[in-house]
Amino acid sequence: MHKKVIHTHDAPAAIGPYSQAIAAHNLLFISGQLPVDPGTGEVVAGGAKEQALQSLANLLAILKASGTDVHAVVKTTVFLKDLADFQIVNEVYAGVFTKDYPARACVQVAKLPKDVLVEVEAIAILEN
């Protein structure tokens, strides 16, 4: 099996024993992206909107590092600390994914790393 680790300094480094993303065959598996500013290593200030923007910016940076873009994403999972933020996060999400939306799951979880409000992971198709 052929797999390649994807890493970019334009997204936060992993905070555990995992990779930012793995390319395997023609698929890209992007680990959950926290709303951490890659320059400072700190969680961005603000609420769910600001955190969703940063999580998605980190995801986009990883897509770019792998040689693709948002249009290649086929599945996302959005983890929210509170589903009351669903509409706010949806508005941010719709600004990134503008057509041919990927399949998605959105779930409320008890707690996320660094006590953030939002985390987003994705699967994308890579060109051969």
Answer whether 79's CB lies under 8 Å from 118's CB. yes
> So which residues are the catalytic ones?
106
pTM of the model: 0.95
Burial code (b: 16+ CB inside 10 Å, e: under 16) for 55-78 equals bbbbbbbbbebbebebebbeebeb
Q: Residue 6 class from Cβ within 10 Å (0-12 exposed, 13-18 middle, 19+ buried)?
A: buried
Sign of CA dihedral 61, 66, 69, 71: negative
pLDDT value at residue 38: 97
Q: How confident is the model at residue 127 (pLDDT cuts 50, 70, 90)?
A: confident
Render pLDDT for 72-94 as a digit per residue (tens, 0 to 9).
999 999 999 999 999 999 999 99
